[in-house]
Amino acid sequence: MPYGTELLAQNLITEAFRNNGSDIHFYPESQQMTVQLRALGDLTMLRKISANQGERLISHFKFKASLDIGEKRKPQSGATLMMIDEEKVSLRISTLPAAEGKESMVIRLLPQSFAIPIEKLSLFSNSARILSSLVRQPQGLLLFSGPTGSGKSTTLYSLIHYCSTELNRNIITLEDPVERNEDHVLQVQINERAGVTYASGLKAVLRHDPDMIIIGEIRDEETADIAVKASLSGHLVLSTLHAKDTKGAIRRMIDLGIRKEDLKQSLIGATGQRLVKININGKTRSRTSIYEIMTTHAVCDYLDELPEQTPYATLEQLFRKGAALGYVSPQEYHRWITPSDLYSQKRSAGFPSPIK
């Protein structure tokens, strides 16, 4: 039976899980430690504990995640697994050194027992249908963009589950870290200290006869280049990218040295995603995703710098639709959509010169 620090740790995780929390934040102060919970995107106070309790709590979680308990000067990250209410929950743990030798910590809660169907992830059913049709393609590159916490990983896992169970595909993932364990999928953990990077791992994966390759994130030129080549050689490649929207994702690939012609041949779709609070009967009940999706023809029009021949729903248009239907509150709309009149001049749509 747990007691002391272990009992406190278990109670905090259980309380966060039952309140639909996604993250727990531990921030050191001079005489105490503040514990905050992020639920539905909002950060709220959970409790305050003594500085001594806080240090023991951080050491406990670092031990469970196989981190160096004595090292407080460097950031560390790891993961561990807990059973909460008879359900497996993965805890992704990140520590960061603070002033005066103190340490802060953030724990992300990742339930393992289910994958949400893609039709339940999207506010609009048409977006779910487009995504489902894109992953049924035999080859090509599909990019997911959006800010941190916008639900990109959840979307990827939902599509992985659909492809492995419904389409019976051989799927290999490259992840850092592996957030959710999926049956019938070969998941590879990135370990840069052991020489397993996205680029080197992707080269090895291509020799393993996959139908579908999932890259946790395209971070550098080499990974971008191999991802495009893999999609051109008969594989379906899905990956995430840090960009504002679909056009930003395309520009980012060009910044990483991918030629326009290669993108036109490989990119079957790009999405820009936001995770928004949804009002039901006037109350915020949950969060769901809004997807801006560009498919092949729209991508080619943009790359050729032509007027849009293939219209697609932008994030702003989708947010307006959600607000008109009463699902998106005015506060949530203005949180994500910046009024166009704040920009005195429009940026040039010209592309940077490709690196290669």
Which pTM value belongs to this model?
0.84
Q: What does the pLDDT read at residue 187?
A: 94
- Amino acid identity, position 64: K
Start-to-end C-alpha separation, the chain = 61
Neighbours of 250 (CB within 10 A): 24
DSSP string, 176-195: SS--S--TT-EEEE-BGGGT
Query: Which alpha helices (DSSP H) does the chain contain, by range?
Result: 5-18, 51-64, 118-121, 125-135, 152-165, 198-205, 221-232, 246-255, 260-266, 296-303, 315-324, 330-336
Task: Count CA within 13 A, CB hemisphere, residue 340.
Answer: 4
Q: What does the pLDDT read at residue 307?
A: 85
State whether the Cα torsion 264-269-270-272 is positive or negative. Answer: positive
Tens-binned pLDDT, residue by residue, of the chain (356 aa): 456 899 999 999 999 999 989 999 999 998 999 999 999 888 999 999 999 999 999 999 999 999 999 999 999 988 899 999 989 999 999 999 998 889 999 999 988 876 788 989 999 999 999 999 999 999 999 999 999 889 898 899 999 999 999 999 999 999 887 888 888 899 999 888 888 998 899 989 999 999 999 998 998 999 999 999 999 999 999 999 989 999 999 999 999 999 999 999 999 999 999 999 998 877 776 889 999 999 999 999 999 988 878 889 999 999 999 999 999 999 999 999 876 544 444 444 454 444 43
Among all chains, which residue has been given the structure tokens 């520590």?
Answer: 95
Q: Residue 336 has what DSSP assignment? A: H
Q: What does the pLDDT read at residue 340?
A: 58
Q: What does the pLDDT read at residue 281?
A: 75
Strand bridging mode 103-111 / 21-28: antiparallel
